[in-house]
Amino acid sequence: MHRVKADIENIKVKSFDGTLINTFKCGKGPHKWLLTPGLGTPVYSWRYLFEYFNEKMTIVTWEPRGLYGSEAPNDISRLTVYDHMRDGLEIMRQVGWENEKFVTGGWSMGIEIGLEIYNNKPSRIVGLALLNGAFEHVLKTAFDFPGMYPILKGLLKTATAASPLVNPLSRYILSRHWTVRVLENLKLVTANREFFAEVLQEFSTQNFAVYFPLMLELNKHSAREILPRVQVPTLITAGTMDRMTPVSSAEFMRDSIKDAELFIIPNGTHYTTIEYPEIINLRLEHFFRNRVFADSWR
């Protein structure tokens, strides 16, 4: 994290089942955000967010259990969205936010974790930032193509079973210099190529033997019933080129959450936070200044 020009403290948090979760406390501002992690999201991918809000916010985030610097649980079945939610609640407690008010939510899988945290601690949450993700069964809406859902599930189950082979192969492919060019040609990334390549290098170091089961567990989860219960300001973002979590998912959340805002990024893919960080940061600040921290934002 030495490449990030922001105040960052690395903390090891022992979660509810004894699993050590690699946690980061970033910034020194008065406004708080429990930034829920995406599936396999390297913390470095938030570089521009950390730098932009360093003086105005204190942001706490973590690496999902089993990935990067966080331990895998002894009970490998403890990889569900509810387990990530409980990690977030324990982190909240250990950083001293148990009685504090804060924003939560994050990118991709972070949407579902954030909604579960809101559902568990609604009196603590003052706003939700739901960035480019789905609210349920992510494989059902990914790559909208007839018959794709069972294919994706089958591929992930096969990859999980073959993880001793797939793990090094995935790391090799993702660390190649030509991988970003291939993703560009497939329209899976559209901008900020150099930074995306740096993030992809970080992404390639994770444990894919845990990553694939995590995705299968994520696919089982639904936060649909939580949406109409949300009573705090909510910002939802989506990219018009997102093939993994389409705009229709974001529109459903907007229509289901009272007074939610939807911000659509033209030409943005699933990775708009990496492709267009300046646009995302400006929109987040507008949301925080006008709807969440209107009385205290400076």
Predicted pLDDT of residue 188:
79
Predicted pLDDT of residue 94:
96
CATH 3.40.50.1820 fits 8-138+222-292, yes or no: yes
Is the CB of residue 222 less than 8 Å from the CB of residue 119? Answer: no
DSSP secondary structure of 139-175? HHHSS--TTHHHHHHHHHHHHHHTHHHHHHHHHHHHT
Predicted pLDDT of residue 3:
84
- Three-state DSSP state, 193: helix
Flag residues of the chain having pLDDT under 50: none
Predicted pLDDT of residue 146:
65
Q: Strand runs (DSSP E) across the chain, as ranges?
A: 8-14, 20-26, 31-36, 57-62, 102-106, 125-131, 234-239, 261-265
Domain ranges of the chain: 8-138+222-292
Is the CB of residue 17 less than 8 Å from the CB of residue 44? Answer: no
Predicted pLDDT of residue 145:
67
Q: Is the pTM higher than 0.85?
A: yes
- In angstroms, rounded to a whole number, what is the distance separating the alpha carbons of residues 263 and 130? 10
